[in-house]
Amino acid sequence: QLDYGALNYELILELQPDLISAVTSGITQEEYDILSQIAPTITQTDDYINFGMPWQDVTLMIGTALGKSAEAEALVADTEALFADAREKNPQFEGKTVAAAYYYDDIFGYYTSQDSRARFFTELGFVVPDDLVEFAGELFYANISIERIDLLDQDLIAIVNLQFIAGGREELESKPLFGLLTAVQEGRVLYMDEVSENALGFYSPLSIPYALEEVLPLLEAIFPPEL
Protein backbone atom coordinates (compact mmCIF):
# COMPACT_ATOMS: atom_id res chain seq x y z
CA GLN A 1 0.00 0.00 0.00
CA LEU A 2 1.70 3.16 -1.25
CA ASP A 3 0.77 6.79 -1.65
CA TYR A 4 -0.74 7.48 -5.05
CA GLY A 5 1.99 8.04 -7.61
CA ALA A 6 4.81 6.85 -5.34
CA LEU A 7 6.93 3.81 -6.15
CA ASN A 8 8.99 2.28 -3.33
CA TYR A 9 11.74 0.63 -5.35
CA GLU A 10 13.45 -0.83 -2.30
CA LEU A 11 10.26 -2.57 -1.22
CA ILE A 12 9.61 -3.85 -4.75
CA LEU A 13 13.17 -5.20 -4.86
CA GLU A 14 12.67 -6.97 -1.51
CA LEU A 15 9.65 -8.78 -2.96
CA GLN A 16 11.95 -10.39 -5.57
CA PRO A 17 9.29 -10.41 -8.31
CA ASP A 18 9.64 -12.58 -11.40
CA LEU A 19 7.43 -10.13 -13.30
CA ILE A 20 6.27 -6.56 -12.74
CA SER A 21 2.95 -5.61 -14.32
CA ALA A 22 2.53 -1.87 -14.80
CA VAL A 23 0.05 -2.19 -17.62
CA THR A 24 -2.57 0.08 -16.05
CA SER A 25 -0.34 2.36 -13.97
CA GLY A 26 0.78 5.03 -16.44
CA ILE A 27 4.42 4.87 -15.30
CA THR A 28 7.06 7.16 -16.75
CA GLN A 29 10.03 6.10 -18.86
CA GLU A 30 12.33 6.72 -15.89
CA GLU A 31 10.18 4.52 -13.64
CA TYR A 32 10.09 1.82 -16.30
CA ASP A 33 13.90 1.85 -16.65
CA ILE A 34 14.36 1.39 -12.90
CA LEU A 35 11.69 -1.31 -12.57
CA SER A 36 13.18 -3.21 -15.52
CA GLN A 37 16.41 -3.52 -13.59
CA ILE A 38 14.51 -5.34 -10.84
CA ALA A 39 12.52 -7.72 -13.07
CA PRO A 40 10.97 -7.95 -16.55
CA THR A 41 8.33 -5.20 -16.63
CA ILE A 42 5.30 -4.91 -18.89
CA THR A 43 3.56 -1.60 -19.38
CA GLN A 44 0.94 -0.08 -21.63
CA THR A 45 1.76 0.76 -25.23
CA ASP A 46 2.04 4.24 -26.71
CA ASP A 47 -1.24 3.70 -28.57
CA TYR A 48 -3.23 5.10 -25.65
CA ILE A 49 -3.06 7.92 -23.15
CA ASN A 50 -1.84 7.09 -19.63
CA PHE A 51 -4.28 4.76 -17.88
CA GLY A 52 -6.16 4.43 -21.17
CA MET A 53 -5.32 0.92 -22.37
CA PRO A 54 -8.48 -1.14 -23.06
CA TRP A 55 -9.20 -4.20 -20.95
CA GLN A 56 -8.84 -6.41 -24.03
CA ASP A 57 -5.25 -5.30 -24.64
CA VAL A 58 -4.44 -5.50 -20.94
CA THR A 59 -5.73 -9.06 -20.71
CA LEU A 60 -3.87 -10.19 -23.84
CA MET A 61 -0.61 -8.55 -22.76
CA ILE A 62 -0.71 -10.15 -19.32
CA GLY A 63 -1.65 -13.48 -20.89
CA THR A 64 1.36 -13.32 -23.18
CA ALA A 65 3.68 -12.42 -20.30
CA LEU A 66 2.42 -15.41 -18.30
CA GLY A 67 2.58 -17.84 -21.21
CA LYS A 68 -1.21 -18.13 -21.20
CA SER A 69 -2.08 -16.41 -24.48
CA ALA A 70 -4.76 -18.93 -25.44
CA GLU A 71 -6.54 -18.54 -22.09
CA ALA A 72 -6.38 -14.77 -22.36
CA GLU A 73 -7.80 -14.83 -25.90
CA ALA A 74 -10.66 -17.05 -24.73
CA LEU A 75 -11.43 -14.69 -21.84
CA VAL A 76 -11.54 -11.72 -24.19
CA ALA A 77 -13.75 -13.53 -26.68
CA ASP A 78 -16.19 -14.72 -24.01
CA THR A 79 -16.44 -11.26 -22.45
CA GLU A 80 -16.86 -9.48 -25.77
CA ALA A 81 -19.66 -11.92 -26.54
CA LEU A 82 -21.49 -10.64 -23.45
CA PHE A 83 -21.35 -7.10 -24.82
CA ALA A 84 -22.43 -8.25 -28.27
CA ASP A 85 -25.44 -10.01 -26.76
CA ALA A 86 -26.34 -6.91 -24.72
CA ARG A 87 -26.11 -4.68 -27.81
CA GLU A 88 -28.24 -7.06 -29.84
CA LYS A 89 -30.95 -7.06 -27.18
CA ASN A 90 -30.76 -3.29 -26.71
CA PRO A 91 -30.38 -1.57 -30.08
CA GLN A 92 -31.95 1.52 -28.50
CA PHE A 93 -28.57 2.27 -26.86
CA GLU A 94 -26.82 2.69 -30.21
CA GLY A 95 -25.57 6.22 -30.84
CA LYS A 96 -26.95 7.77 -27.67
CA THR A 97 -24.47 10.13 -26.00
CA VAL A 98 -23.13 9.55 -22.50
CA ALA A 99 -21.23 11.50 -19.87
CA ALA A 100 -19.56 9.24 -17.29
CA ALA A 101 -19.62 11.92 -14.60
CA TYR A 102 -18.36 12.45 -11.10
CA TYR A 103 -18.72 15.08 -8.37
CA TYR A 104 -16.60 15.94 -5.34
CA ASP A 105 -15.85 19.06 -3.29
CA ASP A 106 -18.18 21.18 -5.43
CA ILE A 107 -16.34 20.07 -8.58
CA PHE A 108 -18.04 18.30 -11.48
CA GLY A 109 -16.15 16.27 -14.03
CA TYR A 110 -16.29 13.33 -16.39
CA TYR A 111 -14.22 10.49 -17.83
CA THR A 112 -13.41 10.28 -21.52
CA SER A 113 -13.76 7.40 -23.94
CA GLN A 114 -10.25 6.22 -23.00
CA ASP A 115 -11.29 5.46 -19.43
CA SER A 116 -12.83 2.16 -18.36
CA ARG A 117 -15.90 3.77 -16.81
CA ALA A 118 -16.85 5.46 -20.07
CA ARG A 119 -15.75 2.46 -22.17
CA PHE A 120 -18.32 0.30 -20.43
CA PHE A 121 -21.04 2.42 -22.01
CA THR A 122 -19.39 2.78 -25.42
CA GLU A 123 -19.09 -1.01 -25.59
CA LEU A 124 -22.87 -1.09 -25.17
CA GLY A 125 -23.37 1.29 -28.10
CA PHE A 126 -23.31 4.67 -26.37
CA VAL A 127 -21.03 7.45 -27.61
CA VAL A 128 -18.82 9.92 -25.74
CA PRO A 129 -19.21 13.18 -27.73
CA ASP A 130 -16.12 14.55 -29.47
CA ASP A 131 -16.30 17.85 -27.62
CA LEU A 132 -15.91 16.06 -24.27
CA VAL A 133 -12.86 14.19 -25.56
CA GLU A 134 -11.33 17.35 -27.01
CA PHE A 135 -11.97 19.33 -23.82
CA ALA A 136 -10.03 16.73 -21.78
CA GLY A 137 -7.04 16.81 -24.14
CA GLU A 138 -4.37 14.26 -23.20
CA LEU A 139 -6.09 13.24 -19.98
CA PHE A 140 -8.62 10.45 -19.39
CA TYR A 141 -10.78 12.81 -17.34
CA ALA A 142 -11.70 16.48 -17.10
CA ASN A 143 -12.79 18.67 -14.22
CA ILE A 144 -15.19 21.36 -15.38
CA SER A 145 -16.27 24.70 -13.99
CA ILE A 146 -19.87 25.03 -12.93
CA GLU A 147 -20.36 27.33 -15.93
CA ARG A 148 -19.61 24.39 -18.24
CA ILE A 149 -21.86 21.87 -16.56
CA ASP A 150 -23.74 21.83 -19.87
CA LEU A 151 -21.06 19.41 -21.08
CA LEU A 152 -22.66 16.74 -18.88
CA ASP A 153 -26.12 17.20 -20.40
CA GLN A 154 -26.08 14.17 -22.69
CA ASP A 155 -28.66 11.51 -23.51
CA LEU A 156 -27.34 9.68 -20.44
CA ILE A 157 -25.52 10.99 -17.40
CA ALA A 158 -23.88 8.08 -15.57
CA ILE A 159 -22.76 9.06 -12.07
CA VAL A 160 -19.78 6.83 -11.39
CA ASN A 161 -18.69 7.98 -7.91
CA LEU A 162 -21.92 8.15 -5.92
CA GLN A 163 -20.28 6.21 -3.07
CA PHE A 164 -17.97 9.18 -2.46
CA ILE A 165 -20.63 11.89 -2.52
CA ALA A 166 -21.67 12.83 1.01
CA GLY A 167 -25.44 12.92 0.97
CA GLY A 168 -25.59 10.76 -2.14
CA ARG A 169 -28.15 11.36 -4.85
CA GLU A 170 -30.11 13.97 -2.87
CA GLU A 171 -26.97 16.03 -2.32
CA LEU A 172 -26.10 15.91 -6.00
CA GLU A 173 -29.56 16.79 -7.25
CA SER A 174 -29.78 19.67 -4.79
CA LYS A 175 -27.10 21.49 -6.78
CA PRO A 176 -29.17 24.06 -8.70
CA LEU A 177 -27.42 23.94 -12.05
CA PHE A 178 -27.19 20.15 -12.05
CA GLY A 179 -30.90 19.91 -11.31
CA LEU A 180 -31.63 22.12 -14.31
CA LEU A 181 -29.96 19.80 -16.80
CA THR A 182 -32.44 18.29 -19.23
CA ALA A 183 -31.16 14.76 -18.58
CA VAL A 184 -31.76 15.21 -14.84
CA GLN A 185 -35.24 16.62 -15.30
CA GLU A 186 -36.19 13.81 -17.69
CA GLY A 187 -34.81 11.05 -15.46
CA ARG A 188 -31.93 10.06 -17.70
CA VAL A 189 -29.38 9.81 -14.90
CA LEU A 190 -27.86 6.46 -13.95
CA TYR A 191 -27.02 5.93 -10.27
CA MET A 192 -25.11 2.78 -9.36
CA ASP A 193 -24.28 1.16 -6.06
CA GLU A 194 -20.74 0.97 -4.69
CA VAL A 195 -19.93 -2.49 -6.03
CA SER A 196 -21.17 -1.68 -9.53
CA GLU A 197 -19.10 1.52 -9.56
CA ASN A 198 -16.05 -0.45 -8.52
CA ALA A 199 -16.72 -3.03 -11.21
CA LEU A 200 -16.42 -0.26 -13.80
CA GLY A 201 -13.30 1.17 -12.19
CA PHE A 202 -11.47 -2.14 -11.78
CA TYR A 203 -12.37 -3.18 -15.30
CA SER A 204 -11.51 -6.75 -16.31
CA PRO A 205 -13.11 -10.01 -17.48
CA LEU A 206 -13.74 -10.69 -13.79
CA SER A 207 -15.76 -7.55 -13.10
CA ILE A 208 -17.43 -6.91 -16.47
CA PRO A 209 -20.00 -9.75 -16.23
CA TYR A 210 -21.08 -8.46 -12.81
CA ALA A 211 -21.33 -4.89 -14.11
CA LEU A 212 -23.49 -5.99 -17.04
CA GLU A 213 -25.79 -8.01 -14.81
CA GLU A 214 -26.31 -5.12 -12.40
CA VAL A 215 -26.30 -2.10 -14.71
CA LEU A 216 -28.18 -3.34 -17.77
CA PRO A 217 -31.57 -3.42 -15.98
CA LEU A 218 -31.00 0.17 -14.83
CA LEU A 219 -30.17 1.29 -18.36
CA GLU A 220 -33.16 -0.56 -19.79
CA ALA A 221 -35.40 1.25 -17.30
CA ILE A 222 -34.10 4.60 -18.62
CA PHE A 223 -34.14 3.51 -22.27
CA PRO A 224 -36.76 0.75 -22.56
CA PRO A 225 -36.25 -1.83 -25.30
CA GLU A 226 -38.28 -1.07 -28.40
CA LEU A 227 -41.18 -3.46 -28.87
147 close to 107: Cβ distance less than 8 angstroms: no
Q: Within 13 Å of residue 227, how many CA atoms lie on the same side as its CB?
A: 0
- Residue 158 CA to residue 192 CA, distance in Å, equals 8
13 close to 38: Cβ distance less than 8 angstroms: yes
Structure confidence at residue 6 (pLDDT): 79
Note the pTM of the prediction, 2 decimals: 0.89
- Residue 183 CA to residue 156 CA, distance in Å, equals 7
Structure confidence at residue 114 (pLDDT): 87
Structure confidence at residue 109 (pLDDT): 95
Which pLDDT tens digit goes with each residue over 166-211?
888 888 888 889 999 999 999 999 999 999 999 998 889 999 999 9
Averaged pLDDT, groups of 10, the chain, 227 residues long: 74 95 88 96 88 93 97 98 97 97 92 93 97 90 92 97 89 89 96 94 93 97 88
Structure confidence at residue 138 (pLDDT): 85
Beta strands in 130-192 (DSSP E): 141-144, 156-159, 189-191
Beta strands in the chain (DSSP E): 20-22, 41-43, 98-104, 107-111, 141-144, 156-159, 189-191
